[in-house]
């Protein structure tokens, strides 16, 4: 397997608190990895360390052979790395369509062309296809902030994929989403993985969602990797069960 993303012994300490404590894993092109673990196990801190939101205390992150440790979100976005957040991050006053266009327009043109280019930056058709894929046609022209939480979550995820990223880190994509949308979301991610070919790392508490989406799963507890492997083996791991349910 060729390695696409490699997380090498990443640690993030806050004084005596070891939020992430020596996590390593690797991901190949087009692969999907799920990261599970109880609340406070360091999943989001790991994400933020990979994505330059915080600088790890030690360790390294390599992407496509390049050391990206501590790079800013802007630099990572330009290398084709996207993310979603636990909380909604849509631009509430922009329409759904404009949200999708703004998510990819930064990779278009020079300063001069950015002032005089078509307002949709040539991304209109692509945005419309994403809107159709995410079944948001009926709300495409409405301000994103006026829509339901679930719909905004779908927009959030669609935005992360608009620029055709090579790697997307999804932080709890199902959080707050109506159960009827969860299956739709999983199918969408599988479709995007198939058509765009990007690699995904998915943090999620919804076990059914993770087990059916991710061929590989990592379970984190107290900042460390407790178990890693195919979903069935992680799910059946006694230490994992104890971490979730207690002794």
Partner 1 sequence: MADFLQLVFSGAAIGAIYALAALGFTLLWQASGTINFAQGEFVMLPAFAMLFFLKVAGAPLWLAFLLACVVAMLILGYGFKVVVVDPLLKHGVIPLVIATLGLSIGLKSAVKAGYSAEAQPFPAIFPDGLLALGTIRVSYADVGTLLVAGLIVVGLQLFLNRTLTGRAMQAVAQNTESARVLGIDVKQMVLYTFLINAVLASVAALLVTPAYLAKFDMGDSIGLKAFYAAIIGGFNQTRGALLGGVLVGVLENLMGAYVSPAYKEGVALMLFLVVIIFKPEGLLGKAEERKV
Q: Looking at 29, 57, 64, 91, which residue binds partner 1 (CB under 8 A)? A: 91
Residue closer to partner 1 by CB (options 144, 220) is: 144
Which residue of 30, 73, 124, 229 would you call a contact of partner 1, by CB under 8 A?
73
C-beta of residue 202 within 8 angstroms of C-beta of residue 173: yes
Short-list 65, 63, 97, CA closest to 80: 63
Residues with Cβ within 8 Å of residue 82, at least 6 apart in sequence? 160, 161, 163, 165, 167, 168, 169
Phi, psi of 147 (to 5 degrees): -90, 170
Q: What string marks each residue from 142 to 161 as x (binds partner 1 by CB under 8 A) or -? A: -----------------x--
94 contributes a contact to partner 1 by CB under 8 A:
yes
**Residue 23 touches partner 1, criterion: CB under 8 A:** no
106 vs 191 by CB, closer to partner 1:
106
Q: Spell out where the chain has E strands.
A: 5-14, 17-27, 32-36, 58-63, 66-67, 81-84, 167-171, 199-203, 216-221, 224-229
Of 9, 13, 6, the C-alpha closest to 54 is: 13
Q: Does 172 bind partner 1 (CB under 8 A)?
A: no
- Smaller CB separation from partner 1, 103 or 147: 103
- Between residues 65 and 119, which has the closer beta carbon with respect to partner 1? 119
Contact (CB, 8 A) for 169 and 83: yes
The nearer residue to partner 1, 72 or 195, going by C-beta atoms, is 72
Residues numbered 174 to 233 that lie near partner 1 (CB under 8 A) are none
Query: Contact with partner 1 (CB under 8 A): which of 24, 57, 86, 89?
Result: 89
Which of 33, 96, 121, 189 contacts partner 1 by CB under 8 A? 121
> Is the dihedral angle over the CA atoms 189, 79, 124, 171 positive or is it negative?
positive
Cβ atoms of residues 210 and 231 within 8 Å: yes
Interaction between residue 31 and partner 1 (CB under 8 A): no
Query: CA 56, 54, 34: angle at the middle one, nearest 5?
Result: 80
Residue 245 sits in the site that holds partner 1 (CB under 8 A) = no
Binding-site ranges for partner 1 (CB under 8 A): 51, 72-74, 77-78, 82-83, 85, 89-94, 98, 101-109, 111, 114-117, 119, 121, 159, 163
């Amino acid at each position: 397997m060729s390695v696409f993303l490699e997380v090498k012994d990443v640690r993030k300490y806050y004084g005596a608190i070891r939020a992430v404590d020596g996590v390593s894993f690797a991901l190949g092109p087009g692969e999907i990895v799920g990261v599970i673990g109880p609340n406070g196990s360091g999943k989001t801190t790991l994400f933020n360390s990979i994505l330059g939101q915080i600088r790890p205390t030690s360790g390294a992150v390599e992407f496509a052979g390049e050391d990206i440790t501590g790079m800013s979100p802007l630099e990572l976005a330009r290398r084709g790395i996207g993310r979603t957040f636990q909380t909604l991050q849509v631009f509430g006053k922009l329409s759904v369509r404009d949200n999708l266009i703004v998510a990819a327009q930064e990779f278009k043109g020079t300063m001069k062309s950015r002032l005089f280019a078509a307002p949709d930056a040539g991304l209109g058709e692509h945005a419309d296809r994403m809107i159709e894929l995410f079944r948001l046609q009926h709300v495409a022209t409405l301000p994103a902030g006026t829509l339901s939480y679930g719909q905004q979550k779908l927009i959030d995820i669609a935005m992360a994929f608009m620029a055709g990223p090579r790697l997307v880190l999804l932080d709890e994509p199902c959080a707050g989403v109506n159960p009827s949308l969860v299956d739709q979301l999983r199918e969408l991610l599988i479709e995007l993985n198939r058509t765009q070919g990007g690699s995904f790392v998915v943090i999620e508490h919804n076990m059914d969602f993770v087990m059916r989406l991710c061929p590989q799963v990592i379970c984190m507890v107290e900042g460390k990797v407790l178990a890693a492997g195919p979903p069935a083996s992680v799910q059946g791991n006694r230490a994992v069960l104890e971490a979730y349910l207690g002794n």
